[in-house]
Structure 1
Amino acid sequence: MNRHRLRLVTFDAFGTLFRMREHPALTYQRIAQAHGLKVVSEPDRLKASFQDAYRKQGASNPVFGRLSQGSRPWWKSVVRNTLIGSGCPKADVDGALDPVFAELFDLYAQAAPYEVYPEVVPVLETLRTTVCEDKVPNGMGKGTKFWMGVVSNSDDRTEAILQSLGLAKYFDFVLTAYHFGSEKPGRGIFDEARLLARNCKAEECLHLGDDLERDYNGPKLIGWNSVLIRRNNDHPVPAGVATASSLKAAFADD
């Protein structure tokens, strides 16, 4: 695609701009043990327990508790159920949960648990200085930088994470499912992104992310351009899906 013809480029956050340095379940284990809990499960059991707790919490309280309890109680339930599901006695978990959760919740709003992918900053630097070629009806004209944003199925700590990683300065807006009230792949959050970019047309928008349904099919179905970022190529994708191994590769032909 020709980025000079775009008016808006948006990115998923987790798994696209940055990744976790270790699986959350292993971090839960480490912090819990530091507070005196004996968490002795094998890593695979811990990870499975986390996935189960996360899935069930998402089903019962969508959008990280945005419409019900809020994100702190939402994540506290995930931590509690992960530890109990991994084999820790319920009474022991409940006795140590408050300090364990407080440390974990604050930790995940900081840079320490995350690693920015190597090509991300150079790509964002280049895109941030890219300009439009043509005059367009929404007020952007030749020589005007296009809009850049983050559209993420994440909670209210995302902007703080981007700030701590030094990435927030590249974006005109950060739109999370938590703040908007609904998640990708629904069209609502993508329509909101267009409104934030002066209501540019769908065909003038590009979204990049690592989830086939949320980051590729969702925006594609409503007329956006989209690219699926596949850093590991670990799952097959349907024929015709536009993929790239990195953000750099996504713009390699421009």
Structure 2
Amino acid sequence: MSLRCIRLVTFDATNTLLKFKVQPWEYYTILGRDYGFEGSDEDLKLRLLDNYKVMWNKYPNFGKNHMNWEDWWRQVVKKTFDGQLPSNANVDGLANQLINDYKTTKCWYLTDGSHEVLNYLRNYGAFLGVISNFDPRLVEILRNVKIDYKLDFIYTSFDVGYTKPDPKIFNHVLMQDIPGKPRNIQPKNCLHIGDDIEKDYKAAKAAGWNALLISNNKNYQECIPKEHIFQNLIDLRMAISKNKLNVF
């Protein structure tokens, strides 16, 4: 199927349109120093990843239906730094600073090729958006990296109530009455682009959509068509510009 048949294109956010300036545990370490943290970023890496996983398993989707997302992140921060700071440290202040900084370009930058890919897809007449497992800060982040104006819609898992790889998140977006959205779009007319083979590629396929994977993992070529895999958005943009993109 050629790109001419695609009427709606969505992107994942993290590691697709957006990149971390430094790994989260490194930034946690940097800020933690101001509050008395003396350990290494490797120590904090294990604690952050473990506590994020614990919180996600107990209160998935950033605490949706259990608490507000800010309190969810505060618990992650407090558990990560538990026993790692002086007894008089302002842990709430640290958590709030991290929550706020992760809205900004202190922590995020726009992936190379993002503007160009969106421009090419727009020229094909595609309706453009984002579907991401994210909390509501995503809208502000995309505004801060100056890409929001190229998007027709932004849906986060927290707002929708479903998380990838649940195909329902794709079905939900397709059913929404979004201003400017072409009528009578079918799943076969939709394309999702992301970096995670399970949450992006296979999940979109399970919803009946077309999908492309942004990854330099060559092992994926054994389980999905190699023409559906691109190392980065620059390579994807080149394929579009040369009319060599095959999404079927």
Q: Deviations over 1:172-213 (max 9, x none)?
A: 110100100110111211012212344511111100100111
- Alignment of 1:106 onto 2:100: yes
What is the aligned partner in structure 2 of residue 154 from structure 1? 134
> Distance between the aligned counterparts of 2:103 and 2:128, measured in 1?
22
Specify the alignment match of 2:219 in structure 1: 236
* CA displacement 1:73-112 (0-9 Å, x = unmatched): 100111111222xx615845xx321111111111111122
Is the counterpart of residue 248 in structure 1 residue 234 in structure 2? yes
What is the aligned partner in structure 2 of residue 201 from structure 1?
A: 186
Show structure 1 runs of 4+ deviating over 3 A: 89-92, 196-199
Alignment TM-score, normalising by the size of structure 1 = 0.85
The corresponding residue for 2:210 is: 225
| Alignment length (residue pairs) | 232
* Compared CA separation, residues 199 and 90, structure 1 to 2 (3 A): farther
Contact 1:110 1:161 in 2 (8 A): yes
One of 69, 72, 80 as aligned partner of 2:70: 72
Contact 1:154 1:177 in 2 (8 A): yes
**Take 2:13 and 2:184, find their aligned partners in 1: how far apart are those partners?**
22
Aligned-pair identity (%):
30
Superposition RMSD in Å: 1.8
Deviates more, 1:2-11 or 1:149-158: 2-11
**Distance in 1 between the 2:207 and 2:159 partners?**
22
Q: State the Cα deviation string for residues 96-146 of structure 1 (Å, max 9, x = none).
A: 21111111111111122112111111111222222xxxxxxxxxxxxxx32
Alpha-carbon offset, residue 169 of structure 1: 0.8
Instruction: Find out whether 1:115 has 2:115 as its counterpart.
Output: no
The residue that corresponds to 1:135 in the other structure is none
CA contact (8 A) 1:9 1:207 kept: yes
Q: Which residue of 2 aligns with 1:37?
A: 36
For residue 9 of structure 2, give the secondary structure of its aligned residue in structure 1.
strand
Letter in 2 for 1:50: L
Provide the rounded CA distance (Å) in 1 between the counterparts of 2:214 and 2:80: 29
Equivalents in 1 of 2:188, 2:164: separation in Å?
18
Asked if structure 1 preserves the Cα contact closer than 8 Å seen for 2:37 and 2:85, the reply is: no
Aligned to 2:20: 20
Contact 1:39–1:83 (CA under 8 A) maintained in structure 2: no
Distance 1:39 1:184 in 2: 36
Where structure 1 has 5 or more consecutive residues not aligned to the other structure, the ranges are 131-144
Indicate conservation of the 8 Å contact 1:208/1:229, yes or no.
Answer: yes
Name 1:133's counterpart in structure 2: none
**TM-score normalised to structure 2 length:** 0.87
Task: Give distance in 2, aligned partners of 1:210 and 1:37.
Answer: 36
Q: What SS is found at the alignment partner of 1:240?
A: coil
Q: Are positions 1:88 and 2:84 aligned together?
A: yes
Whether the aligned pair in 1 keeps the contact of 2:9 and 2:128 (CA below 8 Å) is yes
Is the CA contact (8 Å cut-off) linking 2:8 and 2:190 kept in structure 1? yes
2: CA distance, partners of 1:120 / 1:188: 26
Partner of 1:10, secondary structure, is strand
